[in-house]
Amino acid sequence: MKVLCKNEYLHKTIHKLERVAGKNTTLPILTTILLEAKDGVFSLSATNLEVGIVIKIPSKIEKEGVVAIPARLLGGFIQALIGTNDIFLEGKRDAIFIKGGSQSAVIKGFNAQEFPIIPKQRRGQGSIVLPAQEARDAIERVISFVSLNETRPELTGVEMSFDGGYISFAATDSFRLGEARIKVEIKEGEMLGGLKSIIIPASACHELIRLIGPEDKGVTLTIQEKQLFFTLPSTILVSRLIDGKYPDYKQIIPQSTGTTAVMHAEDFLRAIKAAALFTQSSGGEIIMDISEDKGVVGIAAQSQEAGESHAELRAVIHGGAQRVVLNPRYIMDGITAIGAPFIHIGVTAGTAPILFRGGDEEGGEAREGVLYIVMPIKSR
């Protein structure tokens, strides 16, 4: 293999692949990046057996070939060549010679034949095109709510479902749930050969967030034999789908709430953070009191060791008084994910889920598209 390429493209590509080609002491080949020059295309690939990424970069190919080189060494040396314009790469058996400017190196690698096969997308498969920036934003808003408990594999991913011109991304760990919707121009029944929903592994979601750049307009999603393919210009992300049935979470989203409160999101977040300091652990408790008579939302916490904290926030309130006990970390995560200047809180009496939405003004309507619900620890 002999290839000449720009350092700018090579450095950015290796940086994107290094996270996938992580540390694996049992299978060293998974710590490598596969460099392949074939059919006039120079591509770099990495996989951890769950997620695979293939990126093509512009280059001048003098000789075809393939080598598998440790990602850490390759990335470190290319980083040292920052400022050099052209990079020459020559693969020699299980090693690669690299030259840029006045510097050169030979990096030993592995037998490229041992590199796992990354599934390739076949032509003719059903695909849909998602608006790249909207999809990235939606996934980013919910990804932190996936479950880390492997006993329910379906909750360790993000559900993507199609319903009446919208695609919803949802994630839950059974204690809280986030949903973000984006509008798409897809007719009923056209989504991925009739599939109404899929579960995308969290690892694939994280990588997709990193791969979508500010210049990307669309990302194509294709499903093929329990594998998903996200295709961007010059980049393909491949991942398995998670088997299983995602819970019908829409049944627990409150359709109406007895009490609503609207307030500045930053003020609410600061009060929650302050109260969290006085809880005994990350799973501690804070008390939220909603008082229509006073027009305030009270936030309080106390512990025998630390002391106590109280705050009263001015709010626009409709409905009766409510008092609920909440996990402050869950609330902070949700408010941050919603990312709006005002927060709308909907509370139903009893132990029903509490609904959070964003808003743009104090007396305005809640934003559509993003919601967050959390189960109260208990009500008083």
Rounded Cα–Cα distance for residues 260 and 268 (Å): 14
Residue 249, CA atoms < 13 Å, CB-side half-sphere: 27
With beta carbons less than 8 A apart as the criterion, state whether 310 and 296 touch.
Answer: no
Beta bridge partners of 37: 42, 65
pLDDT tens digit sequence for 3-16: 999 999 999 999 99
Q: How many CB atoms lie within 10 A of CB 219?
A: 23
pLDDT value, residue 63: 96
Tokens coding 294: 């006073």
pLDDT value, residue 255: 84
pLDDT value, residue 305: 81
Please name each of the domains of the chain with its CATH number.
2-114 (3.10.150.10), 127-250 (3.10.150.10), 255-379 (3.10.150.10)
With beta carbons less than 8 A apart as the criterion, state whether 33 and 17 touch.
Answer: yes
Residue (of 345, 201, 206) closest to 269 by Cα position: 345
pLDDT value, residue 224: 87
Q: Which residues of the chain have pLDDT under 50?
A: 380
Rounded Cα–Cα distance for residues 167 and 181 (Å): 6
Tokens coding 9: 């493209």
Q: Within its chain, how far is the Cα of 334 from the centroid? A: 15
Give kind and range of the element (H or E) at residue 362.
none
pLDDT value, residue 380: 47
Q: How many CB atoms lie within 10 A of CB 233?
A: 12
Cβ partners under 8 Å of residue 176, min gap 6? 145, 330, 333, 334, 372, 373, 374, 375
Rounded Cα–Cα distance for residues 303 and 175 (Å): 23
pTM assigned to the model: 0.91
Residue (of 205, 185, 198, 188) closest to 224 by Cα position: 198
Residue 31, CA atoms < 13 Å, CB-side half-sphere: 13
Q: What is the distance in angstroms between the CA of the first residue and the CA of the last residue of the chain?
A: 71
